Amino acid sequence: MKTIFYVIQKEFIQVKRNKVMLRMIVMIPIMQMLVLVFAATYDLKNVNIFLVDKDMSSTSRELATKLEASPFFTINNTSFNPDDGENELLRNADDMVLVIPQGFGRDLIRDDKASLQLLVNAIDGQAAQLGYSYAASVIRDFNKNIIAEWKGLPEFKAPFQINTISRFWYNSELDYKWYMAPGVLSLLVTLIGLFLSGMSLVKEKEQGTIEQLNVTPIRKIHFLVGKLIPFVVIALFDLAFGLLIARFVFHLPIVGSLGLVFGFSVLYLLGILGLGLFVSTLADTQQQVMFVTFFFMMIFILMSGIFTSVESMPKWAQFIDEANPVYHFMRIMRMVILKGSGFSDLIHEFVALCILGFTFLSLAVWRYRKTA
């Protein structure tokens, strides 16, 4: 134990001397939580519309007013030529073009029906789908009000209807920041664990101190444990710091047990740090470590479910995702923090993290023995 303690002490001294690493430990959680949680959102709040009103009737103006009254839409420009709207779409100056044809109001009164054209910029497919849904909802509501007005009713009411009241569990206000904050915390712990552990061993190689350590009577297991523990402590400190930011800045409700969060975090970090050490045994320079860890981070993040639902991925991708530790840890964070899930609800994730952690640590020990 004394040997491990001295190795740990050496690691903390090196961290203290490394001013860049100290800044990373403090600034990364602040920047990630305060920037990514706000920026990484699929909430659609401002859709710019180019209005082509060729009818210029009271009905068309009423529809335009209803769209502009919506909190989601802003009418940026108007014209009588649809080509102007298409040019604005090509320049990405507007998100939609609403074309109201000539005779719109007359056809609506005479034939009880009229046509509209809605051109949507679908470069971002999800934003286009949401924008179209919002616009269709506004037009549908406008249509109901027209029918009610013609029938002399104060508002449209179907003769027979079923009223549905929705209740959203675990995030009743559908606040996207509550959904993103646990995911960003998972990425924060991953980033700290993977990069710092990977940099630590390869820095010893670059400075030439790894040869001095290899000729000492320190056993390999003592050396690796001494390397791991300081970064577990640092990552847990950043996790606690990030939780404080999420609680007081975003008012994130922490429903579940913090002990369970930190317990799973330790288990998760053993695997991530093992992967970082394994990468560092393969690399000779810090640049190589950064490239390899960036490769793993990109795969882990894109398949973790933070931006797209894992359930919507193909079956083969969901199968591969079982080997993604970030996916399991992100599920744990969201389920414990937002749902208050207990250990019995997370048996699958626990087993998966144990298998992945044992695999990564075994690879690190095996590879270090080969290069020691």
Q: What is the pLDDT of residues 206-250, one digit of tens each?
A: 776 766 666 677 777 777 777 788 888 888 998 999 999 999 988
Task: Give residue 327's pLDDT.
Answer: 93
pLDDT at 154 over 50: yes
**Res 349 pLDDT > 90:** yes
Give yes or no for residue 332 having a pLDDT over 90: yes
Looking at residue 370, what is its pLDDT?
Answer: 44
At 161 the pLDDT is 65
pLDDT of residue 265: 94
Start-end ranges of CATH 3.40.1710.10 in the chain? 47-150
Mean pLDDT of 181-204: 83
Q: What percent of the chain has pLDDT over 90?
A: 16
Looking at domain 47-150, its CATH class is alpha beta
pLDDT at 372: 44
Please tell me whether the overall predicted TM-score, pTM, comes out greater than 0.85 for this model: no
pLDDT classification of 291: cutoffs 50, 70, 90: confident
pLDDT at 297 over 80: yes
Lowest model confidence (mean pLDDT) among 168-177, 252-261, 332-341, 363-372: 363-372
pLDDT at 153: 53
User: What confidence tier does 155 reach under pLDDT thresholds 50, 70, 90?
Assistant: low
pLDDT digits (tens, 9 = 90+) for 130-146: 888 888 888 888 877 77
Which tens digit of pLDDT belongs to each residue from 27-56?
878 887 888 887 776 667 788 889 888 888
* Token pair 């616009």 in the structure block, residue: 135
Between residues 169 and 19, which one has the greater pLDDT? 169
Query: Per-residue pLDDT tens for 263-282?
Result: 999 999 989 988 888 888 88
